[in-house]
Amino acid sequence: MKYLLNCNFRRLRLTLILATITALLIAACNRANFKTQAAQAPQLILSILSDPKTFNYALSQESPNIFPYTFEGLTTQSPITGEIEPALSQSWEISDDGLRFVFTLRQGLKWSDGKPLTADDVEFTYNDIYFNKEIPTDTKDTFKIGESGELPKVKKLDERRVEFTLTEAFRPFLQNTGTPILPAHALRESVEKKDGEGKPLFLQKWGVDTPVDEIVTNGPYKLARYNTTQRVIFQSNPYYWRKNKPLIDKVNWEIVESQDTSLLQFRSGSLDSVGVTPDYFSLLKQEEKRGNFEIYNGGAATGTSFVFFNLNKGKRDGKSLVDPVKSKWFNTKEFRQAVAYAIDRQTMINNTYRGLGKTQNSPISVQSPYYLSPKEGLKVYDYNLDKARELLKKAEFKYNSQGQLLDKDGNRVRFTLLTNSGNKIREAMGAQIKSDLNKIGIQVDFTPLAWNTYLDKLSNTLNFDMALIGLTGGLEPNQGANVWKPEGGLHMFNQKPQAGQKPIEGWEVSPWEAEIGRLYVKATQELDEAKVKEIYGETQRIAQENLPFIYLVNALSLAAIRNKFEGIKYNAIGGAFWNIDEIKVTKE
């Protein structure tokens, strides 16, 4: 799972990150910058709100990112049917006991630089990168098997065949093999060589300062240009394995400062697509015919939106990550539940989402067969200020004569709520939460931050109180194992330091937290689908009882797309251009 939405063209990857949901994936840009290219070849112009953070897939935690355009794995998952389909592999064989998988690669595969793509690359990708203890990649979390967390053994059999051996049954394995394969000839040296601190040079490899012609890909596109704060341009990969190469020659991402800018550019006719946020829906709906576009509705979005407190009790260099006074509040279950009851999510839906959403209560996407609904017994926190105050008093909080909330030691309850700036929906949600919590005597200092600064606080420095963000979603909950396993790279409410980060003294895991992690392991070992649903149902019950995340609103997945494209198969899981190799431009 990643922060935001990250879906490969023909497969789903739910490995976590900070979220600006679909709107960031399919915004727009100024076509005037590309008139010359447009006259030469069909292109697609989109936009994002901030610069890419890395071109290195193994180190990426954010979405949108370049990887759905540039890399593919052995398999893919159809966002339409949910079926696992061949990608770089043409077929696979599974032993009777389900512990041995042999993949046969397609014949004649090549990287974007023309070098052969062979079983050596597959073996290298898994053994030397994803399963390397010195490389902090979230991919590792989704492949850990059983209580021991052992990883599959990967062995090249010949130039086109690779064997994966598992120690025990692992239900999501085949889906996981949609993870991108990376080029051994371009990256092996950086894995083997170390810097002055003894860390692999790979940790510095393929940063955004890397010349784009050094980024070797296997997907439908390769990087053609990157201008910081301006644009990313993708060029079709001449060595892409599919018989029919992408019909769209170039994909251009303009980096814009806000969603408002994207909307203005789309309405002026200079963009191809824009994510439709609720505040734009009515305006754009009136302009469909005049603007020669259509608003696609994919139903409920797969991602989540939520606020969460920093529950980390640890210290760095002798200093607490969270003020100890605040940490006591945040780590009190009744306090978290009171906050959940005090947030008026229906008003948030009516005002911020213009009615285009529903209350969200589960970390698992509604499209997943493992989703547990409130009708099936999932706890919900409907707006109830009396209940909130009752819980606070139970936890020994009290009010002063001004109606301000104090803890039992007389400390005023005040903390900072962070989110990423430029996302109007999140900024509106944060402003409402500030107002809502004021009604139960809590003072919230709401502070939107630049995206990369925000990411650094959540993933690296860990010095924050409360945050508003979202995560990607999909069909298989184990793709979010890096969120729910205590040692996971996106276990953001109580983050363990990752490889290469400063150690934390006194990091603790609560019993309920450990139990969710245990159940996520158990769900991968169970092959009976009814039992798997029961296991994931229990994880959702525990999460809603203890509220590491306070879920907010499940928005609709909406996008406005010019009528110039043929072959759009829009849905909430894949988005607008998941099948980009099949889409063509019919007119400019």
Largest CA distance in the chain: 77
The strand pairing partners of 232, in sequence order, are 226, 253
User: What letter does residue 395 receive in the DSSP assignment?
Assistant: T
Query: What amino acid is encoded at 101 in this protein?
Result: F
pLDDT tens sequence across 9-52:
333 333 333 333 333 333 333 444 444 444 457 899 998 888 99
User: What letter does residue 460 receive in the DSSP assignment?
Assistant: I
pLDDT for 258: 82
Task: Tell me the backbone φ, ψ of residue 213, rounded to 5 degrees.
Answer: -75, -5
Closest CA to 15 of 177, 160, 170: 177
pLDDT tens sequence across 319-329:
999 999 999 99
Instruction: Tell me the pairing of strands 100-105 and 153-156.
Output: unpaired
- Is there a common fold for 75-189 and 304-554? no
Instruction: For residue 374, say if its preceding peptide bond is cis, omega within 30 degrees of 0.
Output: no
Half-sphere exposure for 182 (CA within 13 Å, toward CB): 23
Assigned token pair, 581? 């190799």
Closest CA to 124 of 82, 155, 166, 87: 155
List, in order, residues 6 or more apart from 396 with CB less than 8 Å away.
407, 408
Which CATH architecture does the domain made up of 2-69+195-301+556-585 adopt? 3-Layer(aba) Sandwich (3.40)
Report the length, in residues, of the chain: 588
DSSP 451-471: HHHHHHIIIII---SEEEEEE
Neighbours of 451 (CB within 10 A): 23
Please list the pLDDT of the chain residue by residue as tens digits (588 residues).
Answer: 655 433 333 333 333 333 333 333 333 334 444 444 444 578 999 988 889 999 999 999 887 899 999 999 999 999 888 899 999 999 999 999 999 999 999 999 999 999 999 999 999 999 999 999 999 998 998 899 988 889 999 999 999 999 999 999 999 999 999 999 999 999 999 999 999 999 999 999 999 999 999 999 999 999 999 999 999 999 999 999 998 778 899 999 999 878 888 899 899 988 899 999 898 899 999 999 999 999 999 999 998 999 999 999 999 999 999 999 999 999 999 999 999 999 999 999 999 999 999 999 999 999 999 999 999 999 999 999 999 999 999 999 999 999 999 999 999 999 999 999 988 899 999 999 999 999 999 999 999 999 889 999 999 999 999 999 999 888 899 989 999 999 998 999 999 987 778 899 999 999 999 999 999 999 999 989 999 999 999 999 999 999 999 999 999 999 999 999 999 999 998 889 999 989 999 875
Helix intervals (H) in 213-252: none
Which CATH architecture does the domain made up of 304-554 adopt? Roll (3.10)
pLDDT for 11: 35
pLDDT for 1: 63
State the DSSP H helix or E strand holding residue 448, giving kind and residue range, or none if neither. Answer: strand 443-449
State the DSSP H helix or E strand holding residue 63, giving kind and residue range, or none if neither. Answer: none
Query: What amino acid is encoded at 141 in this protein?
Result: D
Whole-number Å distance between alpha carbons of 41 and 236: 11
Query: What amino acid is encoded at 346 in this protein?
Result: Q
Closest CA to 275 of 58, 557, 485: 557
Closest CA to 442 of 549, 263, 307, 275: 307
Closest CA to 160 of 204, 104, 232: 104
State the DSSP H helix or E strand holding residue 243, giving kind and residue range, or none if neither. Answer: none
User: What letter does residue 229 receive in the DSSP assignment?
Assistant: T
Whole-number Å distance between alpha carbons of 361 and 340: 11
Closest CA to 325 of 416, 411, 392, 442: 411
Neighbours of 149 (CB within 10 A): 13
Reduced to 3 states, what is the DSSP secondary structure of residue 425?
A: helix
- Whole-angstrom CA distances from 193 to 134, 361, 382, 468, 565 are 12, 46, 55, 39, 46
Evaluate whether 570 touches 559 at the Cβ level (below 8 Å).
yes
Evaluate whether 109 touches 116 at the Cβ level (below 8 Å).
yes
pLDDT tens sequence across 259-310:
888 899 899 988 899 999 898 899 999 999 999 999 999 999 998 999 999 9
Q: What predicted TM-score, i.e. pTM, was given to this entire model?
A: 0.77
Evaluate whether 545 touches 299 at the Cβ level (below 8 Å).
no
Assigned token pair, 403? 């109606």
Reduced to 3 states, what is the DSSP secondary structure of residue 296?
A: strand
Reduced to 3 states, what is the DSSP secondary structure of residue 440?
A: coil
Q: Which residue has the tokens 């076509």?
A: 31
Task: Tell me the backbone φ, ψ of residue 555, rounded to 5 degrees.
Answer: -80, 165
Domain boundaries, the chain: 2-69+195-301+556-585, 75-189, 304-554
Q: Left, alpha or beta for 16 (phi > 0: left; psi -120 to 50: alpha)?
A: beta
Signed CA dihedral, 250, 59, 200, 220: sign only? negative
pLDDT for 366: 93
Whole-number Å distance between alpha carbons of 231 and 521: 41
Whole-number Å distance between alpha carbons of 422 and 411: 33
Whole-number Å distance between alpha carbons of 566 and 584: 5
Say whether domain 75-189 belongs to CATH 2.40.10.10. no
